[in-house]
Amino acid sequence: MEINKKTVQVKRWAFYFDQSRCIGCNSCTVACKDWYGVNPGPVRYRTQTTYETDAAPFFHSLVMSCNHCENPACVSACAAGAITKRSDGIVVVDRSKCQELKSCISACPFGAPGIADDRQEPVKGNEKWSYSHPMQKCNMCYDLLDKGEKTVCERSCVGHAIEVGDYDELLAKHAGAVQLNISQFPYAYKNNKDTSTGPSFLIKPRKSLTISGEQ
């Protein structure tokens, strides 16, 4: 099968998210769960949250999944070697190698890795699994990207707030986009304050709304 030329040229896959375009509709999170058959429960590959702050513009929408970091904390934390990083930057998990140590969960500053419960994952899906509920997370739809197709979240976003592409190309394309960081987006950091992971997540901050006639 011929591989899309754009896919070959991508050095580092990344997400781009425009806060001003997101309307909080959850179309991306629902589409993701439906595509991968993720039942209701604690595991969510993609989440949408609206945060309230004391400074304008006061409300910030954030849609995020695994950030496929340049220096992923989960990879080094996993003693079982179940988490690896592809040459194009996508961080994947081999659920058959997971020993349910949960070290990746405590290491990830964004709370991306998840462990299902019996309701969410009632049937053992793979006889090679050592545990009933090995860790799972967003894989950036690498199977679609490898075929030159868009990720599920990008093609389902009605506000066109999500784009997936080469990190450097996205940064050059979108004026005002910055790499996710704790100083501007402290609400994005969950389990710890590790700021050295280098998330492959570019975000265009939401600006204050201008009311018509306002002086």
Q: How many residues does the chain have?
A: 215
Q: Higher-confidence residue: 214 or 167?
A: 167
Residues 145, 166: Cα–Cα separation, whole Å:
11
C-beta of residue 78 within 8 angstroms of C-beta of residue 103: yes
In the predicted model, is pLDDT for residue 142 greater than 70? yes
- For residue 152, give both structure tokens: 């599920």
pLDDT for 210 equals 52
pLDDT digits (tens, 9 = 90+) for 50-108: 877 766 667 778 999 999 999 999 999 999 999 999 999 999 999 999 999 999 999 99
Strands, E, within 74-125: which ranges?
83-85, 91-93
Question: Beta-carbon neighbour count of residue 178 at 10 Å?
Answer: 14
pLDDT for 212 equals 52
Residues 64, 66: Cα–Cα separation, whole Å:
7
pTM of the model: 0.88
pLDDT for 208 equals 60
In the predicted model, is pLDDT for residue 2 greater than 70? no
pLDDT digits (tens, 9 = 90+) for 4-51: 444 457 899 999 999 999 999 999 999 999 999 999 999 999 999 887
